Structure 1
Amino acid sequence: MNNHFFSDWERVIVGISDDDLACFCTVSKEDGLTDNTFTPFIVYVFVGETYRGKRVSQQLLSYAETYLKELEFQSIYIVSGEIGLYEKYGYQKIKDCVTIHEFTENLFEKKLDVSLD
């Protein structure tokens, strides 16, 4: 971040409560897959221990999704080893994928409704 690693629309989204880091994630063009045909990604989803179990991750994902929807992306992707977490928020596993570190992970997708109201 300090070295301007993010470009264009890429962002870090941070949630702070009472001067305490509650959560963060990034929206990024890539997430270390060997197959670079997918974009954009929500990456590095983190919720501080104090804030877990309070639906903070849902709020964080929703904020990132709204941002990407405003940019008129039609789908969002998450790479994760978790099963059962992102499905609660409307993501569907679309395939296994291989990372640049040669790990097999799950690739999740969420379709966005970008129609103008």
Structure 2
Amino acid sequence: MIGALPAAGLMIQPAGFVVPDASDVRFQAISRANGEKDWPFVADSGKLACVRMFPGPVVVFIPDGAAAKDRGVILDANPYAMMINNWGVKNVLLPYDKPEELIRRIAPFVAQGRMLCKHNDGPVVPGAEL
């Protein structure tokens, strides 16, 4: 019976809460600053996206240019979630020695991406807005 309560809660939510639609996505162009040494991505520029969905916002980096042939990478401050969500994704993140190094490098982008989901002014957020 207790297990049915969360499922019942999902049934009374609007469809976009569980299955996102276009109005649940926000994008912002980002690029590597000159001399930036903690940039975590292979591509020097791309789009940071946030998708509002259950159980919380999902942050994605989508590379520009030649690297765009590979899919984007889901960013999370949890290294285990990163590993599971990005199984098989190659050539998007720069090499790192330890999971702590990866988290340190992507944490600012996770925070920025989550801020995108709080923005209600349309799907594309200009760089100066956050």
TM-score normalized by the length of structure 1? 0.31
Q: Which has the larger radius of gyration?
A: 2
TM-score by length of 2: 0.29
> Which structure shows the bigger proportion of residues in helix conformation?
2
